[in-house]
Amino acid sequence: MCGIVGYLGNKQACDLLIDALKRLEYRGYDSAGIAMWNNGAIETARRKGKVDDLRKAVSSGGFEGTMGLAHTRWATHGIPSERNAHPHTAGDITVVHNGIIENYIEIKERLRKDGHEFLSDTDTEVIPHLVTRYVEEGRSFVDAARAALKELKGSYAVGIIRKKERTLVAAKKESPLIVGVGDDEYFIASDAPAILDRTNRFIFLEDNDVVIFTEGSLVITDMEGNPVKRVVSTVAWTGAMAEKGGYKHFMLKEIFEQPRAIADTLIGRVMEEEGQVEFEDLSPPDLTKVRKIWMVACGTSYHACMIGKHMIEANLRIPVEADIASEFRYRNPILNKEDMLVLVSQSGETADTIAAMKEGKKRGVYTLGVCNVVGSTLARECDGVVFTHAGPEIGVASTKAFTTQISVLYMLMLYMGGKLHKMDRDRIKENIREMRKMPHKVQAILNISKSIEEIAGNFHKTKDFLYLGRGINYPAVQEGALKLKEISYIHAEAYAAGEMKHGPIALIDENLPVVVVSPNDSTYQKTCANIEEVLARRGKVLLFTDHESHEMASRVESVFTLPSTTYELQPLLSVIPLQLLAYYIANLLGTDVDQPRNLAKSVTVE
């Protein structure tokens, strides 16, 4: 959930590490710390609160050196506090850690009996104590680190340094960690944006990799010390892509980047003239044998899966089950080898989604990952992968990742439709033609975003919202309500509009704004009836529609008109003003839009 950075090179590392932590703030955190190695001494500073508080703490001097570790913590074991912040030290060993050590209590009890004293409530602190114990037994630092890591159960990404030598050890298991390769310098980081301004050459580590950095060299081994070869990849992202570019918040920038992100996701994949969709990294099974598709994800990505379910069932007549990843394994789903398991995650590191993927692989099911990060666990371990090409998404509340996920699932529907001969070439051409228009239609909405800002100005002091949609727009309004909750802290609920009379209608009075997505489709008249029910109880309706003559337009509080498109692509457009509404309300309330409280960008613990 939190962020790790580390450096070994020829530059003064303190400011470099703190700047890198700033770029990881989007991951969510409650405290920050740094450890600097300098000629056999390690200086450590830790602070509850923001990275800027840590920067002030080290500004008085003393934090010099060309090797160091830094960390932002999101509390799992122990409350947010300075004593629980990383780095943690025992003896002459200092550690930063992401993940959860599941057997830390038994390790701690064993070490206490041997005289070790613990100073925090964290699971992490057992790591430096374990390494110290093995060093005291006479093992080398690197061997001691490997021995300690082999004792840990659970997930971890770690950086470890020792006072007595200029060596940095890093390792990962089920928690993201990458290596950056520069000129005579090396980095570790939880995510590429932290160090993109320093290098675009990365090694994407596998589980149980141990990396040993020394002066001018890098060695990767497995847990037994056997050498391991990993490829150095050059990524196309640049540091500038992770900057705000003049926008007040990353989230607003990313909302406005959606036309480009959708266009980039289509490039090289949709061939209108041929009526074909092709994916560069997909090695599918025999699609004629696929009897059922599972779509599994968390949060925003789960809403994309619900939209994908609508698309595929309606057009291909293959049953699709959209499932929440954190629930998937625990109900012992009936998976057959003829099934396909589609796993959707922006980061490719979401712990519950990774666990669902592993469950599928254990049962012999073909796994297809949809994610945004090359080299992520999901991308590496799934049988096939399709990247969304959204570029770095820094704001915690996902926006462009969602619309590019929908775009990929739509292309997947066309791809399978062609391969299975369930959609003829002319029909696929029509769909591609419409999909190519989507960046322009999204831009048309963004061009009139000011009208959404005006609506937000009228409702930002409201305490509750109700969101209603039908069919494929039901998950779109779920996503709109989630965005409002995430960044404004206003309570919002989303319902399938036909379900309103089965309970939520009791909430409606003159103080409740009701956001309704009502396009001119087969559910139009039904949704008009639902709006009538809201108006009869004096609710205030905020209407989003592509129907220029919507029969409810003159009776509702506000109307926002969307461009029209096909049924399957409606959510790509209807979600844009809902993202903007959430953003403008949160901005008016003065919340921390990019780093909302209690949330993290990459949920890498279960």
Other CB atoms within a 10 A radius of the CB of residue 237 amount to: 16
Q: Which residues pair with 601 in a beta bridge?
A: none
> Mean pLDDT, to the nearest integer, of 206-229?
95
The 10s digit of each residue's pLDDT in 95-115 is: 999 988 989 999 999 999 999
Q: What pLDDT shows up at residue 108?
A: 96
| pLDDT above 60 for 605 | no
The 10s digit of each residue's pLDDT in 348-380 is: 988 899 999 999 999 999 999 999 887 788 988
204 vs 603, more confident: 204
What pLDDT band is residue 288 in, cutting at 50, 70 and 90? confident
Q: State both tokens at 77.
A: 């074991």
- CA dihedral sign, ordered 91, 92, 93, 96: positive
The 10s digit of each residue's pLDDT in 121-172 is: 999 999 999 999 999 999 999 999 999 999 999 889 999 999 999 999 999 9
Q: State both tokens at 508.
A: 């409606």
Q: How large a percentage of the chain has pLDDT more than 70?
A: 97
Instruction: Give the distance, in angstroms, between the CA of residue 288 and the centroid of all CA atoms in the same chain.
Output: 32
Q: Comparing 21-30, 220-229, 440-449, which segment has the lowest mean pLDDT?
A: 21-30
Map out the domains of the chain with their CATH numbers: 3-242 (3.60.20.10), 250-446 (3.40.50.10490), 449-589 (3.40.50.10490)
Q: What pLDDT shows up at residue 102?
A: 85
What pLDDT band is residue 519 in, cutting at 50, 70 and 90? very high
> Mean pLDDT, to the nearest integer, of 194-208?
92
| pLDDT above 60 for 604 | no
Question: Angle CA(324)–CA(326)–CA(328) in degrees, nearest 5?
Answer: 65
> Mean pLDDT, to the nearest integer, of 23-43?
88
> Mean pLDDT, to the nearest integer, of 31-43?
95
User: Residue 165 to residues 127, 162, 220, 245: CA-CA distances in angstroms?
Assistant: 18, 6, 18, 41
What pLDDT band is residue 601 in, cutting at 50, 70 and 90? low
> Mean pLDDT, to the nearest integer, of 439-448?
95
Q: What pLDDT shows up at residue 148?
A: 97
Instruction: Give the distance, in angstroms, between the CA of residue 290 and the centroid of all CA atoms in the same chain.
Output: 29
Find, among 171, 158, 165, the residue nearest to 214 by Cα.
165
> Mean pLDDT, to the nearest integer, of 82-94?
96
**Which are the contacts of 134, defined by CB distance < 8 A and separation ≥ 6?**
143, 144, 147, 148
Q: What pLDDT shows up at residue 516?
A: 96
> Mean pLDDT, to the nearest integer, of 560-579?
96
- What average pLDDT is seen over the chain? 92
> Mean pLDDT, to the nearest integer, of 421-450?
94
Q: Which of 173, 253, 441, 601 is catalytic?
A: 601
- CA dihedral sign, ordered 199, 200, 203, 204: positive
What pLDDT band is residue 479 in, cutting at 50, 70 and 90? very high
Q: What pLDDT shows up at residue 606?
A: 59
Q: What pLDDT shows up at residue 53?
A: 94
> Mean pLDDT, to the nearest integer, of 446-475?
95
The 10s digit of each residue's pLDDT in 396-410 is: 899 999 999 999 999
> Mean pLDDT, to the nearest integer, of 205-228?
95
Q: Tokens 């049924």 belong to which residue?
A: 567
Q: What pLDDT shows up at residue 25?
A: 81
What pLDDT band is residue 239 in, cutting at 50, 70 and 90? low
Q: Which of 2, 305, 371, 382 is catalytic?
A: 2
What pLDDT band is residue 27 in, cutting at 50, 70 and 90? low
Whether 2 is catalytic is yes
Find, among 189, 252, 260, the residue nearest to 407 by Cα.
260
Beta strand 210-214 with 165-173 is antiparallel
d(CA 479, CA 499): 17
> Mean pLDDT, to the nearest integer, of 476-491?
96
